[in-house]
């Protein structure tokens, strides 16, 4: 048994929380007992975070990240479950690969690693992967995505949406019309024109989202839109939801904070897909997340080896680290400006992502009888990000040298501390 | 002057004028000399690091450095360790370890010189990066305009053609506006970047409408592959709408000059009779390129005050 004393669930009044056999068994002031006592010190308690969009790179690029190192980074970021994207090598498009990733996550034992299955064989966008076999596997896949690639063929996208209905699954689309982004390097606009970097137009994302919400509405299936990055996308999602389409969407921490101004340095640490957008887009994304049009924050944690980033902009791989700073970015961009309260953070970073991924044991309220997946946060702590100190095997953090608020002091996965005093326990 | 010349925007009016004036002084100092060489950069090493073929630009920089008595190393990425996968950073550090005081870099990726400048202690000169900039081309263009027309302030410059992919156009837009010229870009909308509205220029799709008031017409090279990517329907249509032929040249004011950064597609963007006319400064531009690049190398490497 564990007793966490003097914590503030959702930032509210301080209580003690008793955990027995992985569940919350008692909540209230002044609990006593001879349990292992963790002094909560007035910290904010939130349900363990759930990431819908993590790249763990194993199998294939274990030099950039492994399931274990990525799990450690996730736990340190306050996560108790992460969805591992399918664009590994080999691609996670069979029951065998998703079970391998799932088992590696179990062995690491720091977070629940939930594999995402590819929609199409080899992410090639030509024919459906064996979605049912992945859903029926030990990994129990419910989220399917060709992330990194768009399922661009509208007929194939329709079939995928229809097919996953039988699996209670969801298609998570990387919305990018590929013919509009040939050679694209950054957000298309004033800066791309001046910097001589080929532009990635907002319309390439918005056109696919518009198409897909119409398809999802037509066939009555669940659609999830990955890493929404433009104001226009938020408008389309708002319209689709008002029409009753079963669409959900996520935004990344970096799209909530950073703009295409970062590209001025030509430092590829700021190269990401979809690209960093304008300040107006950032404001629209924050508003969309605040009003619930955007359901979730998802990290798109994309570790890359040094040689894949320390190069010319054009030849660098797109992607940024995200797991360890995600909550800090949300505190800075949403909580401190008053756009979300702590219950709102729990909703967008735990409750809704767990619901989208159909994860039964996560995204539950901090209440008696619920699984003890939770984190303790010191929102007043401020620290400067040092990439060398990150748990990820890679160092491509866009926040290097930036002072951020919020420190995850402890994370509990089914009652077991995976992080204590800000340090991973494995 | 700053330590590097990465883009035209690095130069304020005073710096840009200093480069042009210095080029003029160098030209005067060498005029009439039998041995066209100055001892200014003796003992300094300049590396021409070319990831893209560009014989004209490389020779121009090579000549400029040699006329200043620098040691020159030409490093072509083809057939080198680069083709074996060595990164730009490793190449840069190697060259620096060999004692390069200045690195002149031509690269197919926009921003590559900026990256290089973060890794080396020596000065970096951008000799063309992707579709970004080619600042010494803009300086030699400005020098040529001043030489022919006697001024830059208030000069009306019309830049015609593939602005979207042109590093020459980008550099000229910033440098010429810094120096007080009025720039008008003329191109089909498909060859103008989204965001061009934020540039300090006027934009027109109608070449005939702007020619009568132009002091300078700067034609840009059109790449054949643009046609296949439907930036315009055909070479013939492009040439009719945006090519500079004798009929259009006749509309220009008497004093107006015609420029082209080369190499030209004769008969496409520029008619042979225009390219070879007395208005054409194309040959002057090549010669002035050496003087301007000497000035740049001298000011960056010669110990001029910050």
CATH number, domain at A32?
A: 2.30.40.10
Of A356, A391, A414, the residue at which a domain comes to its end is A356
Give CA–CA dist A318/A311, Å, rounded. Answer: 12
- Kindly report, residue by residue over B177-194, the tens digit of the pLDDT: 999 999 999 999 999 999
Contact between B38 and B66 under an 8 Å Cβ cutoff? The reply is no
Is a pLDDT exceeding 90 seen at residue B33? no
Average pLDDT per run of 10 along chain A, which is 426 residues long?
A: 96 97 96 86 97 98 98 98 98 98 98 98 98 98 98 98 98 98 97 96 98 98 98 98 98 98 97 98 98 98 95 95 98 98 98 98 98 98 97 98 98 98 97
pLDDT of residue B75: 86
pLDDT at B1 over 90: no
Taking CA–CA distances from B197, the nearest residue in chain A reads A190
- Chain B residues within 8 A of A194 when measuring between CB atoms: 170, 195, 198-199
Domain edge (last residue) among A304, A331, A356: A356
pLDDT reading at B129 higher than 80:
yes
Let me know whether A295 and A414 are in one domain.
no
**Residue A51 a catalytic site member:** no
Token reading at A289: 């997340």
Confidence of residue B302 (pLDDT cuts 50, 70, 90): confident
- A53 and A91 in one domain? yes
Query: Is residue A86 located within the same domain as residue A164?
Result: yes
* Domains B8-134+286-302 and B135-282 fall in the same CATH topology: yes
Q: What is the pLDDT of residue A32?
A: 84
Q: So what CATH class is B135-282? A: alpha beta
Q: Which regions of A196-261 does DSSP assign to beta strands (E)? A: 199-200, 223-225, 247-251
Tokens coding A341: 């309260």
Question: Confidence class of residue B227 from pLDDT cuts 50, 70 and 90?
Answer: confident
Q: Within this chain, do residues A299 and A393 fall inside the same structural domain, yes or no?
A: no
Query: Taking CB atoms and an 8 Å cutoff, what residues of chain B touch A195?
Result: 110-111, 132
- Taking residues B264-278, report their average pLDDT: 95
Cβ of A201 within 8 Å of Cβ of B194? The answer is yes
Residues A27 and A54 in one domain: no
Closest among A371, A399, A370, A405 to A386, alpha carbons compared: A399
Instruction: Identify the closest residue of chain A to B129 by CA–CA distance.
Output: A196
- CA neighbours closer than 13 Å in the CB half-sphere of residue A121: 5
| Residues on chain A touching B199 (C-beta within 8 angstroms) | 193-194
Among A190, A196, A311, the residue with its CB nearest the CB of B87 is A311
B55 is in an annotated binding site: no
**pLDDT surpasses 70 at B79:** no
Structural domain boundaries in chain B: 8-134+286-302, 135-282
Catalytic residue among A300, A308, A347, A386: A300
User: Shortest CB distance from A312 goes to which of B107, B195, B198?
Assistant: B107
| Closest among A141, A139, A202, A137 to A172, alpha carbons compared | A141
A319: in domain = yes
pLDDT of B76 reads: 83
- Tell me, yes or no, whether A58 lies in a domain: yes
In a domain, A37, yes or no: yes
Mutate to test the interface with B, among A182, A188, A191, A194 (most CBs of B within 10 A): A194
Indicate the pLDDT class of residue B306, thresholds 50, 70 and 90: very low
B160: its two tokens: 């015609």
Round to whole Å and give the CA distance between B124 and B115: 10
Partner A, chain B 112-151, Cβ-Cβ below 8 Å: 112, 114-115, 118, 129-133
- Residue B83 has a pLDDT of 63
Tokens of A197: 């970097």
Q: How is residue A240 written in tokens? A: 């689709």
Same domain for A272 and A413, yes or no, is no
Residue listed under structure tokens 């699954």:
A169
A34 with A81, same domain: the answer is no
Q: Give contacts of A188 with chain B, Cβ < 8 Å.
A: 194-195
Mapped onto helix, strand or coil, the DSSP state of residue A394 is: coil
The response to whether B25 counts as a known ligand-binding position is no
Query: CB–CB of A311 and B199 under 8 A?
Result: no
- A73-96: pLDDT as tens digits: 999 999 999 999 999 999 999 999
Residue A38, domain extent: 2-44+370-424
Structure tokens at B230: 């439907």
Q: What is the pLDDT of residue B200?
A: 96
- B198 near A CB under 8 A: yes
Task: Please compute the mean of the pLDDT values over residues B283-298 and round it to a whole number.
Answer: 96
Asked whether the beta carbons of residue A195 and residue B132 sit closer than 8 angstroms, the reply is yes
Residues A220 and A282 in one domain: yes
Same domain, A162 and A73: yes
Question: Is the pLDDT reported for residue B304 higher than 50?
Answer: no
A123 in a known ligand binding site: no
A102 and A38, same structural domain?
no
Residue of chain B whose alpha carbon sits nearest to that of A265: B114
Specify whether A145 is located in the same domain as A14. Answer: no
In a domain, A361, yes or no: no
What ipTM did this prediction achieve?
0.88
Is B263 one of the annotated binding-site residues? yes
Task: Looking at the complex, report in whole angstroms how far the Cα of residue A315 sits from the nearest Cα belonging to chain B.
Answer: 8
Among the candidates A309, A327, A356, a domain finishes at: A356
- Asked if B115 and A193 come within 8 Å (Cβ–Cβ), the reply is no
Q: Looking at chain A, which residue has its C-alpha nearest residue B109? A: A314
Query: Is B75 part of the contact surface with chain A (CB cutoff 8 Å)?
Result: no
pLDDT > 70: what percent of chain B? 96
Q: Which CATH number fits domain B8-134+286-302: 3.40.50.1370, 3.40.718.10, 2.60.40.1510, 3.40.50.10540?
A: 3.40.50.1370
Q: How far apart are CA B68 and CA B61, in angstroms?
A: 11
A318 and A197, same structural domain? yes
Whole-angstrom Cα Rg for chain B: 19
Instruction: Find chain B residues with C-beta within 8 A of A315's C-beta.
Output: 109
Interface of A with B (CB under 8 A): 185, 188-199, 201, 265-267, 307, 310-315
Q: Please count the structural domains in chain A.
A: 2
Q: Which residues contact A402 (CB under 8 A, 6 or more apart)?
A: A384, A385
> What pLDDT does B224 receive?
81
CB contact under 8 Å between B109 and A312, yes or no, is yes
- Alpha-helical regions (H) of A77-142: 95-108, 131-136
B115 vs A contacts (CB less than 8 Å): 266-267, 311-313
Residues of A in contact with B89 (CB under 8 A): 310-311
Which pLDDT score, from 0 to 100, does residue A47 have?
A: 98
Question: Which residue, A19, A21, A2, is CA-closest to A366?
Answer: A19
For residue A251, the SS3 value is strand
C-beta atoms of A314 and B109 within 8 A: yes
Give B294 to chain A, closest Cα distance, Å. Answer: 26
B171 vs chain A: nearest CA distance in angstroms? 9
For the stretch A234-248, pLDDT in tens is 999 999 999 999 999
| CATH of residue A344 | 3.20.20.140
What pLDDT does B305 receive? 37
Residue of B nearest to A189 (CA): B195
Closest chain A residue by Cα to residue B113: A312
Q: How far apart, in whole angstroms, are the C-alpha atoms of residue A91 and residue A85?
A: 9
């Amino acid at each position: 048994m564990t007793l966490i004393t003097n914590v503030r669930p959702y930032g509210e009044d301080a209580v003690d929380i008793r955990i027995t056999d992985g569940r919350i068994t008692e909540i209230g002031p002044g609990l006593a007992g001879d349990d292992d006592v963790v002094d909560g010190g007035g910290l904010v308690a939130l349900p363990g975070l759930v990431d819908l969009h993590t790249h763990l790179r194993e199998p294939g690029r274990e030099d950039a990240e492994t399931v274990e190192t990525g799990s450690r980074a996730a736990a340190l970021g306050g996560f108790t479950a992460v969805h591992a994207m399918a664009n590994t090598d080999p691609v996670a498009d069979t029951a065998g690969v998703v079970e391998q990733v799932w088992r590696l996550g179990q062995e690491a034992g720091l977070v629940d690693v939930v594999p995402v299955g590819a929609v199409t064989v080899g992410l090639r966008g030509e024919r459906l992967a064996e979605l049912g076999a992945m859903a029926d596997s030990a990994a129990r896949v419910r989220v399917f995505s060709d992330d990194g690639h768009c399922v661009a063929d509208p007929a194939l996208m329709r079939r995928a949406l229809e097919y996953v209905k039988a699996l209670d699954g969801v298609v998570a689309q990387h919305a990018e019309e590929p013919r509009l982004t040939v050679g694209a390097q950054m957000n298309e606009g004033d800066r791309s024109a001046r910097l001589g970097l080929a532009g990635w137009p907002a319309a390439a994302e918005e056109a696919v989202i518009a198409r897909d919400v119409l398809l999802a509405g037509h066939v009555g299936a669940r659609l999830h839109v990955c890493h929404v990055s433009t104001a226009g996308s938020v408008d389309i999602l708002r319209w689709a939801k008002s029409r009753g389409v079963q669409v959900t969407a996520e935004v990344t921490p970096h799209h909530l904070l950073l703009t295409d101004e970062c590209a001025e340095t030509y430092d590829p640490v700021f190269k990401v897909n979809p690209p960093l957008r304008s300040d107006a887009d950032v404001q629209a994304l924050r508003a969309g997340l605040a009003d619930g049009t955007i359901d979730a924050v998802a990290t798109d944690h994309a570790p890359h080896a040094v040689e894949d980033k320390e190069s010319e902009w054009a030849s660098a791989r797109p992607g940024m680290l995200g797991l360890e700073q995600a909550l800090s970015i949300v505190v800075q961009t949403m909580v401190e400006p008053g756009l979300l309260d702590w219950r709102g953070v729990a909703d967008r970073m735990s409750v809704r992502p767990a619901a989208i991924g159909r994860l039964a044991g996560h995204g539950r309220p901090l209440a008696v009888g619920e699984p003890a997946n939770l984190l303790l946060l010191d929102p007043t702590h401020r620290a400067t990000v040092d990439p060398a100190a990150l748990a990820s095997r890679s160092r491509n953090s866009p926040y290097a040298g930036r002072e951020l608020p919020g420190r995850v002091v402890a994370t509990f996965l089914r009652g077991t501390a995976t992080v204590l005093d800000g340090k991973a326990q494995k | 002057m700053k330590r590097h010349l990465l883009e035209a925007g690095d130069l304020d009016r005073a710096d840009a004028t200093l480069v042009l004036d210095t080029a003029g002084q160098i030209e005067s100092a060498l005029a009439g000399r039998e041995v066209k060489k100055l001892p200014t950069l003796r003992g300094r090493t300049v590396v021409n690091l070319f990831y893209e073929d560009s014989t004209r630009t490389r020779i121009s920089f090579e000549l400029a450095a040699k006329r200043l008595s620098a040691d020159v190393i030409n490093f072509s990425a083809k057939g080198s360790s680069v083709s074996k996968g060595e990164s730009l950073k490793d190449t840069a550090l190697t060259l620096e370890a060999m004692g390069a005081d200045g690195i002149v870099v031509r690269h197919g990726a926009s921003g590559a010189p900026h990256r290089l400048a973060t890794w080396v202690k020596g000065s970096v000169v951008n000799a063309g990066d992707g579709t970004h900039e080619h600042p010494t081309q803009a300086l030699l263009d400005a020098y040529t305009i001043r030489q022919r027309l006697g001024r830059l302030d208030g000069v009306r410059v019309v830049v015609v053609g593939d602005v979207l992919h042109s590093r020459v156009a980008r550099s000229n837009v910033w440098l010429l506006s810094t120096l007080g010229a009025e720039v008008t870009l003329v191109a089909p909308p498909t060859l103008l970047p989204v965001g061009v509205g934020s540039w300090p220029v006027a934009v027109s799709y109608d070449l005939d409408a702007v020619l009568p008031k132009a002091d300078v017409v700067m034609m840009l090279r059109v790449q054949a592959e643009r046609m296949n990517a439907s930036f315009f329907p055909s070479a013939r249509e492009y040439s009719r709408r945006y090519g500079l032929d004798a009929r259009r040249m006749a509309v220009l004011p008497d004093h107006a000059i015609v420029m082209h950064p080369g190499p030209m597609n004769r008969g496409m963007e520029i008619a042979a009779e225009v390219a070879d006319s007395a208005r054409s400064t194309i040959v002057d531009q090549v010669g002035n390129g050496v003087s301007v690049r000497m000035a740049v190398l001298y000011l960056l490497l010669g110990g001029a005050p910050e």
